């Protein structure tokens, strides 16, 4: 897409910096909101690894 080979769909939080910098250009202002959330789950009898905890904590800051 960034080389002029078509169009793409993308999650706003992943493409907004590319649009702001001009690397991508929106072809419409349409936004689809699904209302679907993300969930982090793990077994009750296991602690999260350090990396999994970092991902969980990052997701919480994005909510």
Specify whether the CB–CB gap between 24 and 2 falls below 8 A.
yes
Asked if residue 58 lies in contact with residue 13, where contact means CB atoms within 8 angstroms, the answer is: no
What are residue 51's phi and psi, to 5 degrees?
-65, -40
7 found inside a domain:
no
pLDDT digits (tens, 9 = 90+) for 8-59: 989 888 999 999 999 999 988 888 888 887 788 888 899 889 998 999 899 8
pTM for this one? Answer: 0.52
**Number of folded domains in the chain?**
1
Any domain includes 1:
no
Within a domain: 26? yes
DSSP 28: -
Q: Which domain holds residue 23?
A: 12-62
Q: Which two tokens stand for residue 20?
A: 């702001």
At 17 the pLDDT is 95
Q: Is residue 38 part of a domain?
A: yes
Inside any domain, residue 5? no
Please indicate, yes or no, if residue 25 is contained in any of the structural domains.
yes
């Amino acid at each position: 897409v960034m080389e002029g080979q078509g169009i793409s769909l993308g999650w706003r939080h992943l493409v907004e910096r590319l649009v702001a910098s001009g690397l991508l250009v929106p072809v419409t202002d349409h936004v689809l909101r699904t209302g679907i959330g993300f969930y982090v789950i793990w077994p009750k009898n296991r602690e999260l690894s350090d990396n999994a905890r970092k991902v969980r904590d990052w997701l919480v800051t994005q909510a």
